[in-house]
């Protein structure tokens, strides 16, 4: 049997965070050179991305002030929302680094290490599930961002240089206000590269946080399922014949004491996870509702097939992101307890009483994350208004 490691859950998330120059949690000592490199990469990414946002906001402001390019301005507003979510998620994890480190250390402490423990936890099932979700979601996000990044240059190469159907001209991936005329200037190429980097940064800032959340939520679900199976499979010693009552009761009480302590620890980790990710999730859901509305509006206004494909991909990815987080929130809520035999008596009441309140993934205290959040937060309702 393959021996899995904690890193198998978070490998992709950490890869994206490394590309952003962020170490989300500290499990070892970093050299001064590593710290300097991360700081340099992170500073460049944030400054570059923030500069692009300022240029886009300026373009939108001028478009509305001069009453022109309304449709293009609404499209840029969806880009701005996407970028702001990425920046906020990056800064949120960076700010919560010490708390996240404590959370990860506790998860590592209860992580099954031996082959026998991993078999009891069915760890291979959870690793495969987590890997499938994270890989597919990562591919979808990378397809989205690189479609947008390379769309302008591909149009130029295919339609103008190769097929010679029409004159496309030099375009940038994202429309924004630039102080100078870059069309026939050498600055076009560094501008294109910087916009591509900014697009990747915003996407990586979002996806890394989502992948980390899904990995941690999967592990918590694994621990809750383990407690449930342990209660279901445990044979009450007091009901066994030919057992000394005092010793049998002592074994039962020891089992319950351990399982209650284990359960309480997992519950505290769930609350800690909400504390780490809650604000970022709240902002994510609020911003995603506006992004989906703007994209849906643009699709109804008519567009050429190429642009329509981009918009559909943007809409599908945004909706998938909301559903992914909602799905894991629902799984935490659905983590059920086994109604153990009455032979557990008084100590089992502690578990039964706490089991009345489901574990929840919260975007702060205001929003409960579940599949119902897809409509409760008006992410879909607002979007549907444009099609009524």
Per residue in 173-221, pLDDT tens?
888 898 888 888 889 899 999 999 999 999 999 999 999 999 999 999 9
Residue 170's SS3 state is coil
| 385 occurs within a structural domain | no
Tokens 């035999």 — which residue? 341
Q: Would you state the pLDDT for residue 376?
A: 55
Q: For residue 281, give Cα distances in angstroms to 85, 270, 332.
A: 9, 15, 16
Half-sphere exposure of 47 (CA within 13 A, CB side): 6
Helices (H), the chain: 7-20, 32-65, 70-95, 97-109, 115-120, 123-155, 188-233, 245-300, 305-333, 345-355, 373-376, 379-385
Which among 212, 221, 202, 217 has a CA at the least distance from the CA of 318?
Answer: 202
Distance CA 354, CA 80 (A): 43
Average pLDDT, the chain: 81
Q: Residue 108 above 90 pLDDT?
A: yes
369 token code pair: 């994350």
Residue 165's SS3 state is coil
Number of separate domains in the chain: 1
Per residue in 67-101, pLDDT tens?
877 778 888 888 888 888 889 888 888 888 899 99
362 token code pair: 């919260």
**Phi and psi torsions of 301, nearest 5°:** -85, -5
Q: Residue 237 has what DSSP assignment? A: G
| 383 occurs within a structural domain | no
| 388 occurs within a structural domain | no
Of the listed ranges 99-108, 235-244, 255-264, the least confidently predicted one is: 235-244
Q: Would you state the pLDDT for residue 185?
A: 86
Domain range spanning residue 96? Answer: 6-378
- First CA to last CA distance, the chain: 55
| 34 occurs within a structural domain | yes
Give the pLDDT band of residue 18 (cuts 50, 70, 90): very high
| 137 occurs within a structural domain | yes
Percent share of the chain, pLDDT over 90:
30
Q: Residue 349 above 60 pLDDT?
A: no
- Find all residues with CB under 8 Å of 314, minimum gap 6, and list them: 78, 144, 148, 291, 295
| 384 occurs within a structural domain | no
- Which helix (H) or strand (E) is 177 found in, with range? none
| 30 occurs within a structural domain | yes
| 131 occurs within a structural domain | yes
Distance CA 223, CA 217 (A): 10
Q: For residue 28, give Cα distances in angstroms to 61, 101, 138, 215, 353.
A: 46, 10, 27, 20, 39
């Amino acid at each position: 049997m393959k021996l899995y490691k904690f890193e198998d859950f978070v490998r992709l998330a950490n890869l994206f965070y490394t590309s952003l120059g962020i170490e989300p949690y500290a499990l070892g000592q970093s050299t001064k050179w590593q710290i300097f490199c991360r700081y340099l990469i992170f500073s460049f990414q944030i400054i570059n991305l923030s500069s692009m946002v300022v240029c886009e906001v300026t373009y939108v402001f001028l478009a509305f002030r001069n009453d022109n390019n309304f449709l293009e301005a609404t499209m840029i507003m969806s880009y701005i929302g996407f970028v702001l979510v990425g920046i906020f998620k990056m800064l949120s994890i960076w700010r919560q680094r010490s708390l996240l480190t404590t959370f990860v250390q506790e998860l590592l402490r209860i992580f099954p290490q031996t082959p026998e423990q991993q078999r009891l936890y069915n760890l291979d099932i959870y690793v495969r599930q987590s890997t499938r979700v994270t890989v597919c979601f990562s591919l979808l996000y990378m397809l989205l961002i690189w479609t947008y990044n390379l769309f302008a240059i591909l149009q130029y190469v295919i339609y103008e240089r190769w097929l010679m159907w029409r004159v496309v001209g030099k375009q940038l991936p994202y429309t924004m206000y630039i102080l100078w005329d870059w069309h026939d200037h050498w600055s076009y190429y560094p501008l294109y590269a910087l916009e591509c980097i900014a697009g990747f940064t915003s996407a990586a800032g979002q996806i890394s946080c989502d992948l980390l959340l899904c990995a941690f939520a999967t592990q918590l679900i694994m621990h809750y399922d383990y407690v449930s199976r342990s209660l279901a499979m445990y044979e009450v010693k007091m009901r066994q014949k030919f057992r000394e009552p005092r010793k049998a009761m002592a074994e039962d009480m020891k089992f319950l004491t351990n399982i209650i302590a284990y359960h309480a620890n997992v519950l505290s980790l769930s609350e800690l996870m909400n504390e780490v990710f809650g604000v970022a999730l709240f902002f994510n859901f609020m911003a995603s509702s506006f992004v989906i509305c703007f994209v849906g509006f643009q699709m109804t206004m008519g567009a050429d097939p190429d642009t329509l494909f981009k918009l559909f991909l943007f809409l599908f990815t945004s909706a998938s992101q909301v559903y992914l987080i909602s799905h894991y929130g629902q799984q935490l809520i659905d983590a059920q307890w086994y109604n153990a035999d009455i032979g557990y008596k008084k100590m089992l009441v502690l578990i039964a009483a706490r089991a009345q309140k489901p574990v929840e993934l919260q975007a702060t205290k205001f929003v409960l994350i579940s599949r119902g959040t897809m409509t409760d937060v008006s992410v879909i309702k607002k979007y549907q208004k444009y099609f009524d």
